[in-house]
Amino acid sequence: MADWWRGAVVYQIYPRSFQDSDGDGIGDLPGITARLPHIASLGVDAIWLSPIFKSPMADMGYDVSDYCDIDPLFGTLADFDALLARAHELGLKVIVDQVISHSSDQHPAFVESRQSRTNPKADWYVWADPQPNGAPPSNWLSVFGGSAWEWDSRRRQYYLHNFLTSQPDFNFHNPEVQDYLLDTMRFWLDRGVDGFRLDTVNYYFHDAQLRDNGPEPREENLPPANPYEMQDHEYSKCRPENLPFLERMRAMLDEYDDRSMVGEVGEGPRRALRIMEEYTAPGRLHMAYSFDMLGPKFTPAHFRSRIEGFFAAAPEGWPMWAFSNHDVIRHVSRWAEYGAQDAVAGLAAAMLLSFEGSICLYQAEELGQTETDIEYHELTDPPGFRFWPDYKGRDGCRTPMVWDGSAQAGFTSGTPWLPVKPPQRARNVAAQEAPGSVLNLYRALLDWRKGSALRDGRSVFFDVPDPVLAFRRDGAAGSVLCVFNLSDAPVTLRVKGLAALEGPQSGAVLKGGALTLAPCGWVWSHCDAGVTAA
């Protein structure tokens, strides 16, 4: 199906933490292959593998040294081929993480580039002379703290790194770089992958004039823990030159059948919708992965504004929504104040899987997994070391998958690279095979969603008072009414034109046109296109 990605549910796997097959404490490709039946049992459409390419692992694989090989930590190309074949047998598409805005400083091209200003790779990365006083060429900041410029004594120049100093940025203004990176993507397309998740897709190009960024408007009096948030990154990313390169990528994918690209759009709220609109215009990305629902906001107005705002700005575009991923606090912990863990987990599942767009689930989300409390001596994440304790890094959402109640949760026979702690172990897969679990709720919702208007129907939102979010999805398969109570107290609202509840629900009672929802209650119900709520 050419548009399989439209309305699809993608399951994100963090390979280091999914399943270890050889006892070294780090997850690997054979381990993932062995556990694919669990993912298939959920009823999702595809898997997304976070980085698995060869890397020194300074940023857990987001620093690539060889784009056409598997890192030995995870296995071999033969292991990848076996995983791909097994996933396809189970009806799962496979998307790989493509990190091309920057490479590792151990990539052969950078090793050569830094040797001189005249070698064949001299212009493959972003190099610039210092200012007369020795200062960096511009005021650009790194996401991971400090200047985005690092001095190199061999070339007597600075190089650009939007992340770690060991992650130099490619110079996309050089056509040779574009051609090289497209060739690395073609390598995986020829191998049979179904698409790419494009990391930091709006970081590819920089302002060729190296103009200074201005301040980002802020309401807070104190600076944030990371001053990167204080800058308007107008010149260091989101440059207009990005768009023709996206079109080159799309043209390449269109040479193959049924492939897709989703771009991670890391951008603040002022520009996020505009960038998502531009990047998903016809002939560019198939989907834009949004950060808009990965924060603390948990209000009907916020969720409604993101969905309505996207489709108003990009009527021909397509979003991918997520509540959790490998970079943020798990949403059951992030939104803990709104109800009990299982109740919040169930409410979040029902909301996310009803939103117009494609959906991304992060591993263990189907268990209602919570954030792990990481101590300083357990840290592995570079930003955690730099900004502790105000920001503890991303390790807390990256701890191993919990398969059973044993000491290492069935993840490894060795010592896991991050700890498995009792609160997380308690929410294991084996224990949740029982009726009424969060896991079985995900399975039921994903099954019901298939063939319904929740996959590709359009949204009609209703003006209802807080804390209720209510809308109808209208599609070729009919209409579905979706109503959610985003609070820990019961609520009642009026529903017109609905005789009975026909679909999954939690704590919902319809009587005489009055719909009462328990704390964190919700309902999906088949309905006529004229049903409204007020």
Ramachandran assignment for 504, one of left (phi > 0), alpha (psi -120 to 50 degrees), beta (any other): beta
- Give the count of beta carbons closer than 10 Å to the beta carbon of residue 152: 17
Residue at 506: amino acid letter: S
Q: How far apart are CA 204 and CA 270, in angstroms?
A: 20
Q: How far apart are CA 326 and CA 97, in angstroms?
A: 13
Catalytic residue chosen out of the listed positions 28, 71, 199, 371? 199
Q: How far apart are CA 457 and CA 79, in angstroms?
A: 38
Question: Any idea what DSSP says for residue 513?
Answer: T
Judge whether 464 and 497 are in contact, CB under 8 Å.
no
CB proximity list for 151: less than 8 A, separation 6 or greater: 130, 157, 158
For helices 77-89 and 175-191, the axis angle rounded to 10 degrees is 60
Active site residue 255: yes
Active site residue 199: yes
Q: Which runs of consecutive H residues, i.e. helices, occur in 437-509? A: 438-449, 453-456
- Give the count of beta carbons closer than 10 Å to the beta carbon of residue 44: 21
Q: How far apart are CA 274 and CA 310, in angstroms?
A: 8
Question: Any idea what DSSP says for residue 202?
Answer: G
DSSP H or E segment with residue 31: helix 29-42
DSSP H or E segment with residue 345: helix 341-352
Catalytic residue chosen out of the listed positions 190, 219, 220, 255? 255
CB proximity list for 500: less than 8 A, separation 6 or greater: 510, 525
Q: Which of 463, 443, 438, 446 is nearest to 520 (CA)?
A: 438
Task: Establish how many alpha carbons lie within 13 A of residue 533's alpha carbon, considering only the half-sphere containing its beta carbon.
Answer: 27
Q: How far apart are CA 187 and CA 134, in angstroms?
A: 42
Q: Which residues are catalytic?
A: 199, 255
